[in-house]
Amino acid sequence: MSPAFGGCSANAVSAEGGLAPIAELRSQRFAIPRYKNQVDGAVMDKIVIDGGIRLKGNIEVSGAKNAALPILAATLLTDKKCVIKNVPNLRDVSTMLKILRSLGIRCWMSDHEVIIEPKTLKNCVASYKLVSTMRASICVLGPLLAKYKQARVSMPGGCIIGQRPVDLHIKGLKSLGAAIKIEHGYIVAAAKKLRGANIFLGGAYGSSVLATANVLMCACLAHGRTLIENAACEPEIVDLAVFLNKMGAKIKGQGTPSITVDGVKCLEGATHSVIPDRIEAGTHILASAITGGQLIVQKAKIEHLSALVDKLDQVGVKVKAYKNGDIHVKRKGKVLKPVDITTLPYPGFPTDMQAQMMSLLALGDGISVLTEKIFPDRFMHVSELNRMGADIFLEGASAIVKGVKRLSGAEVMASDLRASAALVLAGLVAKGRTEISRIYHLDRGYERIEEKLAKVGARIQRVKEI
């Protein structure tokens, strides 16, 4: 097996372009991001924002990245054609499609629809080159093992938001009967026969989303019944289970900490539309709140946003869903009240919203404490927000946020996906110009964010970095 993997070169900086004068920026059409080049690392763009505009209008949410990725991996469980709709056009999605292609599978994406014909699989190897660019690649491990009884998937390694162990993935798959060893940086898994088992999937920080996804997918083709306890309850896991059941799996209890899977002999092809992205929706809600605007967030599910909506109510931001599904966001008054938040697995406050919420609370009328219980080191955005005038200091896994009257535009650097979104939010309200570099992180998880925000009034532009 010698797959020909497409390479992701180092992040080269484009030599052309540069910052346009502000008047020119305002009059320019907003260019569509060049996802292909960004995937290849050939272009490193930056976002330029002139803050201070109250956002107003309708903004649409794309499909959920974190649901689409395991669902695309789950198509490995069948030989039959699958059609996945409402797939966001993101760098992480194209990385997952590259992985599927590197396994020999034919897949196409056009207009948010992915068609996959999995019967042409040629090997079971997910290389370091691809896995190292996106941790979610690990969710090909469970399906490959289930269907082909073997898998060789690169260890994802750590990342900027902290240690990212895979012990729960390995524990779960071993319980199903797989022999697993770590060899030359790869997780090498094999099984003669997979058998259902009772598996407790809790780790030091609670449940694991992708470990639940991996074990769930693998258990679908195992012999007999599997009970996953302390399973992740995230809506993305529910969406994956819905897709698997459409393929003929027998899963019950998704959305609760106890999931039961009765193994079946084979799975069929299926068509599925991915749920809306709750983290993107939450980010737009905060864009409205932080600018004192009045956004209507469309195509989102308010029921996936309860923890955020509750905290925003305490802060002084009204978030209301109407019968047609539209979510209206409006500040109750001028003052943003401070609030304490602890990130927790769903339905608790999502770690993926912590950075963006910090931008809002940086302008609160008092002290807020944000505590990370999922990724204790996920605070890379703090120093960048402080460069914009915020007053935040870290104490262990907590950020003490002393509200300030205003933020001021600055040159800042995006360190990871949600940190990038936090800087965009801060830039939208800051006085003057904010320039955010290394925004390839943003392109991993937000589809055309600058276009969507520009349409509701933001003075935001993507430009090539000099």
Considering only residues 186, 243, 349, 375, which one is a binding residue for ligand UD1 as defined by CB under 6 A? 375
Task: Decide if residue 167 touches ligand UD1 (CB under 6 A).
Answer: yes
Task: Decide if residue 186 touches ligand UD1 (CB under 6 A).
Answer: no
Query: What's the closest the beta carbon of residue 123 comes to ligand UD1, in angstroms?
Result: 23
Residue 359 to residue 232: CA distance in whole angstroms: 27
Task: Decide if residue 155 touches ligand UD1 (CB under 6 A).
Answer: no
* Residue closer to ligand UD1, measured from CB, 24 or 167: 167
Active site residue 8: no
What are the residues facing 453 on neighbouring strands? none
Candidates 272, 324, 274; CA nearest to 297 is 324
Choices 36-44, 162-170, 190-198, 270-278; region in contact with ligand UD1 by CB under 6 A: 162-170
* Residue closer to ligand UD1, measured from CB, 131 or 209: 209
Considering only residues 100, 153, 168, 430, which one is a binding residue for ligand UD1 as defined by CB under 6 A? 168
Task: Decide if residue 166 touches ligand UD1 (CB under 6 A).
Answer: yes
State the pairing for strand pair 367-371/398-402. Answer: antiparallel
Considering only residues 30, 35, 200, 205, which one is a binding residue for ligand UD1 as defined by CB under 6 A? 205
Tokens (6 digits) for 120: 């042409």
Quote the DSSP letter at residue 81.
-
Query: What's the closest the beta carbon of residue 136 comes to ligand UD1, in angstroms?
Result: 4
Sheet of 82-85: strands edge to edge? 106-110, 113-117, 82-85, 271-273
Query: What's the closest the beta carbon of residue 219 comes to ligand UD1, in angstroms?
Result: 16
* Residue closer to ligand UD1, measured from CB, 54 or 373: 373
Q: Biggest alpha carbon distance in the chain?
A: 66
Query: What's the closest the beta carbon of residue 237 comes to ligand UD1, in angstroms?
Result: 9
* Residue closer to ligand UD1, measured from CB, 48 or 242: 242
Encode 261-329 in three state secondary structure: EECCCCECCCEEECCECHHHHHHHHHHHHHHCCEEEEECCCHHHCHHHHHHHHHHCEEEEECCCCCEEE
Q: Is 335 helix (H, G, I), strand (E, B) or coil?
A: coil
Considering only residues 209, 221, 353, 399, which one is a binding residue for ligand UD1 as defined by CB under 6 A? 209
The letter for the amino acid at 354 is Q
Q: Is 24 helix (H, G, I), strand (E, B) or coil?
A: helix
Residues numbered 116 to 135 that lie near ligand UD1 (CB under 6 A) are 135
Residues in the chain: 466
Query: What's the closest the beta carbon of residue 314 comes to ligand UD1, in angstroms?
Result: 22
* Residue closer to ligand UD1, measured from CB, 168 or 191: 168
Q: Is 7 helix (H, G, I), strand (E, B) or coil?
A: coil
* Residue closer to ligand UD1, measured from CB, 165 or 432: 165
* Residue closer to ligand UD1, measured from CB, 52 or 203: 203
Query: What's the closest the beta carbon of residue 366 comes to ligand UD1, in angstroms?
Result: 28
Residues numbered 43 to 102 that lie near ligand UD1 (CB under 6 A) are 66, 69
Query: What's the closest the beta carbon of residue 194 comes to ligand UD1, in angstroms?
Result: 19
Q: Which is catalytic among the residues 82, 107, 124, 159?
A: 159
Rg for the chain, CA atoms, rounded: 22
For the chain, give me the number of helices (H) and strands (E)? Answer: 16, 24
Choices 161-169, 239-247, 334-342, 432-440; region in contact with ligand UD1 by CB under 6 A: 161-169
Q: Which residue has the tokens 């900027």?
A: 160
Query: What's the closest the beta carbon of residue 102 comes to ligand UD1, in angstroms?
Result: 19
Q: How many CB atoms are closer than 10 A to CB 182?
A: 11
Q: How many chain residues touch ligand UD1 (CB under 6 A)?
A: 23
Task: Fill in the per-residue mask, 335 to 374: x = in contact with ligand UD1 (CB under 6 A), - = not in contact.
Answer: ----------------xx---------------------x
Element (H, E) at 464: strand 459-464
State the pairing for strand pair 411-413/433-437. Answer: parallel
| DSSP per-residue string spanning 143-183 | HHHHHHSEEEEE----BTTB----HHHHHHHHHTT-EEEEE
Tokens (6 digits) for 174: 């071993």
Residues numbered 423 to 442 that lie near ligand UD1 (CB under 6 A) are none
Residues with catalytic function: 159
Residues near ligand UD1, by CB under 6 A: 66, 69, 135-136, 163-169, 203-205, 208-211, 236, 351-352, 374-375
